[in-house]
Structure 1
């Protein structure tokens, strides 16, 4: 699947407008996307109304030091895993006080894959301190850029759904 800049811009705008309308702030904790979600969200003027910041925690050491990801999770499950992205979300909320956090860790390629985590495997998590954390894994096709673009679009759309559900619960 080829994800265009227009699709990314539209998805980021939709999420940003929803966050701003609800008065919520978001923080990103990104690994394989290298800050692309934060970039997409902050491409709009005035995005400081809904973006607290973004942490690019590419190395395991950064995940531990900046987000409080445990050695145990990294050793037992690896960086590309549900426990790690859940801890990334919790750590990002704790570090910044944002209302909502999103975390991404994956194998974008071209190397680095394994039989149980092939290239294109990406774990996502998003949540807040009240309603909990949701996590999902996806497998995307294509080269490094395609995997990263699909990851950014997927998480922007998924978090938009999460934020809409928060509004319905209010």
Structure 2
């Protein structure tokens, strides 16, 4: 998916009380096989689309009296994470790592079906594949030029130029807020 040719992406929780919109393409999508993500997701991997928080918005059904549940949790780095959950069905839809609220990690499985298909065909990498199940074969992904890394990767060698430029712009805006 070209980052320039863009139609907003939408998603929601299972009960549809909490929905969200991405007004730009994800910078990249991580398909993470680390044991932490396996445990947290209850599956073989976690799929998170990374976007600037300025390009992310959510809507909670006005009939819901509780706010979005922001649940803190641990991370291997020790910096922590905050998972945003629907206050009705408790699905986790997005998260932030540490104090970096300017970057949103959208749980890609909560995207609406057509939007998920667009993201799944876009800029993505498989990370921490050293701990993926042996039966997961990423050969076709490699053949298609998708990054497959045993651990993490060097951002500047993987992200497309437009994503790197958007990240730089986001970081400058964040630095300007603290000035």
TM-score by length of structure 1 reads 0.28
Q: Which has the higher helix share?
A: 1
TM-score by length of structure 2 reads 0.27
- Structure showing greater radius of gyration is 2
